[in-house]
Structure 1
Amino acid sequence: MNLSRTLLVALFIIGVSGFSYDELSRQYDCKLQLDSAGNYTMFYTIDEDDKLLSIAIHVQTTGWVGLGLSPTGQMPGSDVVIGWVDNSGASFFQDRYAFDRTIPRYDGSQDWKFIGSSEDNGITTFLFERLFETCDEGDIAISAGDTTHLIYSYHSEDPIDNQHISQHEFQGVKTVNLFGQLQNTADPPANLQYVDVVNANVTVPSKDTTYLCTLIELPSQFKNKTHYLVKTAAQITPDSARHVHHMLLYLCDGFNLTGDPAVGVSQECNGISQKILPCRSSIVIASWAVSGNDFTYPADIALPIGGADKIHTHYLLEMHYDNPDKISGIVDSSGMRLYFSDKPRQEVAGIVTLGKLATGHMIIPPGVQRYTVRGFCANQCTNANFPEEGITVFANLLHTHTAGAELILRHIRNGTELKPIDVNRNYDFNYQQINIIPSAKILKGDEMILECVYNTGHRNTTTFGGESTSDEMCISVLYYYPATNLSNCLSYTIPSAYAEWMSTYLLPEQYYAIAAAAVNNISSARPVFDSLDWSEENYRMLERIGQTSEQVNVCVSGKGKNYGSTFASSKPPLIEVPFEGEGQCVKGSNGSPSVVLVIHSSNLVMIIVMCLLTIYSFP
């Protein structure tokens, strides 16, 4: 715990009146408004050195308050704390575990540690903390990168006693990545210019999946003066929101498309002209996926757009619409709002897409609880595109579709695996957010492996790589500086690599049917795959081939006339020295139900003792 927060705690304990929202904002690194009404705010700080999560909750109530970590966003299985301050000023705080949808049971291992509390002017505030890992089966581990479901609740009245807690009057769930939030900083200036890059009343086709591309001209002021992108915010049409799956906004860098007849016209992306097609592999300047929040760049980083020395005339907005019920008449005007400053910043941002190319050669068998696919970015690509000093990663978006369960972006240097750049072992398709990454340096010649784990236990048909939500992807959108010309570094498995598996597990007629389909798109042989006996031995061999066999690395870079792709076949990066995470759990202390008394300011002896402890806790 840092010195300023220790002083804050001391003031709580000696009975000083509750601290304001602004004071908590200053003392904790991050804050989250958990409810739409603004009545429940959570402040927190992550101490990665001590493996400690410190939390303050600030709730507009004089009754009991609750907060929990949930594996699913539902109450069963949740790791919960409940607290209240009674009329005498005594504080009650308990670590509990929810087995079902009833009052959570008291946890015999009290690992959430009470720090302080107050009730003042209708606001109840509690401070508490917990180690990331406690070895308690009733606790949910706190892991970097994982999607976290925060469940919150409160009541207008205090419980009668420890055993009789009334059902909540207010409750909800907030899905976040605790480690991926930008620390509390001043909001971007209110006078920032912004530009809306949106579709204009587009009719969504009545089919399962549609990718629509719209060419949009940049405002005239961008053509002569550079503007600096500092924030992006999705603008989603409410009536069509459930059909908007994700969007990418490309800057057509180096392509002068002035006067092109496609400007302002929305058309399916696979039908755009050859003149516009390179935009789709150009610079991604904004991305959004289901339930994503606004993204604000760190204070010293921006992405420059426009200027007399650049050929920036158009954006290309790519929208993925999901319409599994094939509903007609859906009209959408969603897109992105871009906030710009006219002042340059210290670092120039770039964005690159990594992972597995979403083709039919990405095969995921049905009925498997855990199946791993890997795509990689080879050292040939980073050698050719990264500067000598390397690049620094500051944010990332991990993306799969509905079968995705875990993702890890691995980082390899000369055969040694370094700390993963990004990890999410509790991936939730319905919450996809750009996460802030503690500075990770990728050097020229380094390699990356994106590892995606899928759960198809609920499926009885084979899943292939593809653009439909029922297909799968394995993608990482990496934000970094300084900018380079690299826009994509992806890989795909060579079809011939499957020959050994096919000859082992397929009948001759199945073999020939799949081999014929593999010439174009192997997923066209779906009925043959679905008819296979997917024994564990069978699918594990297929998984191993997909992970270890030769792949084609697709490296896309350049701009304008210099735009191009290189295709090089190579084995996946060799990891000679794996990264060893801490993986260490520290046993929490046992406890029993107790009442923690707030010490009032009249107790001068305790005040003096507390102040001395505060002072001498720090050299």
Structure 2
Amino acid sequence: MEVFHCEANPNEEIPLYIGNCFAKDRPPKTQVCKRVLAAWAMGAPPFAYPEEAALPIGGDKFNPYIMLEVHYNNPERRADFVDSSGIRFHVSKVLREMDAGVIELGLEYTDKMAIPPGQESFQLTGYCTSACTSMSLPPQGITIFGSQLHTHLTGIRVHTRHFDAYGKELPELNRDNHFSTHFQEIRRLKKPVKVLPGHVLITRCDYSTEDRQNITLGGFAITDEMCVNYIHYYPHTDLEVCKSSISDQALDTFFRYMNEWEAQSTSTSQGVSENYKAIKWNKMRVQLLGEVYDESPLSMQCNMSSGNRFPGYWENAHIPPILTPLPPTPRKCDNILE
């Protein structure tokens, strides 16, 4: 479940709507409801803000309309379920020192990123590049105090790495080596993390598809996949989404290669999903896809709360270089005979 604020003039009325988020009859005026106020996923307990910051709600410049988006898993399309789920906010009239916000890191919600079947472990990586943080963050940077890692059913491991503007790796932002989609807590970080303009955040997810016979596509369904880190931070900025996916050109080249050199039934006349499903996956093709993901240019989402991108050219962006990675964690080996 996600709660979005409708970023409009305070006196502007937003039409009331109950229905599918992607329905054709959804009122166009509701498209301004994009700024994330809160998010919840299975297993998450209540979340409390730190003393120095909180989520701003209300005021003379605050439009009173919000949108609650609930993702249901109802594969049998049963109509006899009645749902009363919701999110409760505990609000204080005492303003805190700074306004907090939420930024989405990781992979764009798109079928361009996919996981072949039968894999013990397959990795996908999403980037928040230095070009985006340079354009969107204030000179003093932001302080991250919370993190919610998110995948769907095949995710087994998620972590976000942090780099300065010179490619030097800083301590990790968050990691879960035993991820469960049924226990997606919003974690207060033990030590707040400062992110400055020019810094890079790289979110990587590992997936296990050993029990699946067909390709797993990126998307909104629980049987699709995501790779996201919702970070809670202060002070609030206009940056809402800092995500990536493989560039369209690179993916088209991969599908063309599959057709011309591997005799697969991919075609320029088919969509992305159809082309992935047309491939008969073997070990070599799986390895090639992983290499294509790791080396191809990016399509970046560097988006404001309005849904518009920040000024810049975000297609075919370079993958950020890792020049100085963190050294391996020292092993504590006691009672070893020399």
Q: Within 5 Å, which residues of 2 pair with 1:577-592?
A: 577-587=324-334
CA drift at 1:477? 0.5
The answer as to whether partners of 1:366 and 1:459 remain within 8 angstroms in 2 is yes
AA aligned opposite 2:212: R
Which gives a bigger RCO, structure 1 or 2 (Cα 8 Å, sep 6+)?
A: 2
Aligned to 2:298: 551
The Cα offsets for residues 126-148 of structure 1, whole Å up to 9 and x where unpaired, read as xxxxxxxxxxxxxxxxxxxxxxx
SS at match of 1:383: helix
The Cα offsets for residues 443-501 of structure 1, whole Å up to 9 and x where unpaired, read as 01111111111111111110110000000001110100111111111111113213554
Residue 94 of structure 2 corresponds to residue 348 of structure 1: no
AA aligned opposite 2:309: S
AA aligned opposite 1:374: T
Residue 227 of structure 2 corresponds to residue 474 of structure 1: yes
Aligned length: 329
SS at match of 1:340: coil
Q: Within 5 Å, which residues of 2 pair with 1:52-71?
A: none
The answer as to whether partners of 1:498 and 1:542 remain within 8 angstroms in 2 is no
The Cα offsets for residues 556-597 of structure 1, whole Å up to 9 and x where unpaired, read as 1155xxx622460201111011122424133379xxxxxxxx
The answer as to whether partners of 1:365 and 1:534 remain within 8 angstroms in 2 is no
Query: For the structure 1 residues 329 and 585, does the alpha-carbon distance in structure 2 shift closer, same or farther, using more than 3 Å as the test?
Result: same
The answer as to whether partners of 2:106 and 2:243 remain within 8 angstroms in 1 is yes
CA drift at 1:553? 0.7
Q: Within 5 Å, which residues of 2 pair with 1:204-223?
A: none
Unaligned runs of 5+ in 1: 1-246, 590-619
Aligned to 2:79: 328
Aligned to 2:273: 523
CA drift at 1:515? 2.9
Aligned to 1:373: 124
Query: For the structure 1 residues 533 and 350, does the alpha-carbon distance in structure 2 shift closer, same or farther, using more than 3 Å as the test?
Result: closer
Aligned to 2:20: 268
CA drift at 1:292? 1.0
Residue 154 of structure 2 corresponds to residue 403 of structure 1: yes
Residue 259 of structure 2 corresponds to residue 513 of structure 1: no
Q: Within 5 Å, which residues of 2 pair with 1:391-470?
A: 391-413=142-164, 414-437=166-189, 438-470=191-223
The Cα offsets for residues 151-202 of structure 1, whole Å up to 9 and x where unpaired, read as xxxxxxxxxxxxxxxxxxxxxxxxxxxxxxxxxxxxxxxxxxxxxxxxxxxx
Identity %: 29
CA drift at 1:256? 4.6
Which deviates more from structure 2 when the two are superposed, residues 488-497 or residues 288-297? 488-497
Query: For the structure 1 residues 320 and 488, does the alpha-carbon distance in structure 2 shift closer, same or farther, using more than 3 Å as the test?
Result: same
The answer as to whether partners of 2:157 and 2:176 remain within 8 angstroms in 1 is yes
The answer as to whether partners of 2:112 and 2:251 remain within 8 angstroms in 1 is no
Aligned to 2:314: 568
Query: For the structure 1 residues 485 and 499, does the alpha-carbon distance in structure 2 shift closer, same or farther, using more than 3 Å as the test?
Result: closer
CA drift at 1:533? 3.6
The Cα offsets for residues 331-389 of structure 1, whole Å up to 9 and x where unpaired, read as 11211100011111123211111111121111210001111101111122111211111
User: What CA distance in whole angstroms lies between the structure 2 residues aligned with 1:443 and 1:464?
Assistant: 33
User: What CA distance in whole angstroms lies between the structure 2 residues aligned with 1:335 and 1:552?
Assistant: 34
TM-score, normalising length: structure 1? 0.51
Query: For the structure 1 residues 526 and 505, does the alpha-carbon distance in structure 2 shift closer, same or farther, using more than 3 Å as the test?
Result: closer
SS at match of 1:341: coil
Query: For the structure 1 residues 364 and 255, does the alpha-carbon distance in structure 2 shift closer, same or farther, using more than 3 Å as the test?
Result: farther
Residue 112 of structure 2 corresponds to residue 361 of structure 1: yes
User: What CA distance in whole angstroms lies between the structure 2 residues aligned with 1:467 and 1:296?
Assistant: 27
SS at match of 2:51: coil
Query: For the structure 1 residues 446 and 510, does the alpha-carbon distance in structure 2 shift closer, same or farther, using more than 3 Å as the test?
Result: same
AA aligned opposite 1:568: W
The answer as to whether partners of 2:100 and 2:235 remain within 8 angstroms in 1 is yes
Unaligned runs of 5+ in 2: none
The answer as to whether partners of 2:259 and 2:266 remain within 8 angstroms in 1 is no
The Cα offsets for residues 92-125 of structure 1, whole Å up to 9 and x where unpaired, read as xxxxxxxxxxxxxxxxxxxxxxxxxxxxxxxxxx
Residue 288 of structure 2 corresponds to residue 541 of structure 1: yes
Structure with a larger share of its residues in strand = 1
CA drift at 1:273? 2.5
Q: CA RMSD in A?
A: 2.1
SS at match of 2:147: strand
User: What CA distance in whole angstroms lies between the structure 2 residues aligned with 1:270 and 1:588?
Assistant: 61
Query: For the structure 1 residues 483 and 501, does the alpha-carbon distance in structure 2 shift closer, same or farther, using more than 3 Å as the test?
Result: same
Aligned to 1:303: 55
AA aligned opposite 2:291: R
Among 4, 20, 33, the residue aligned to 1:279: 33
User: What CA distance in whole angstroms lies between the structure 1 residues aligned with 2:121 and 2:229?
Assistant: 20
User: What CA distance in whole angstroms lies between the structure 1 residues aligned with 2:153 and 2:267?
Assistant: 26
TM-score, normalising length: structure 2? 0.91
AA aligned opposite 1:471: D
The answer as to whether partners of 2:264 and 2:278 remain within 8 angstroms in 1 is no
SS at match of 2:55: strand
SS at match of 1:476: strand
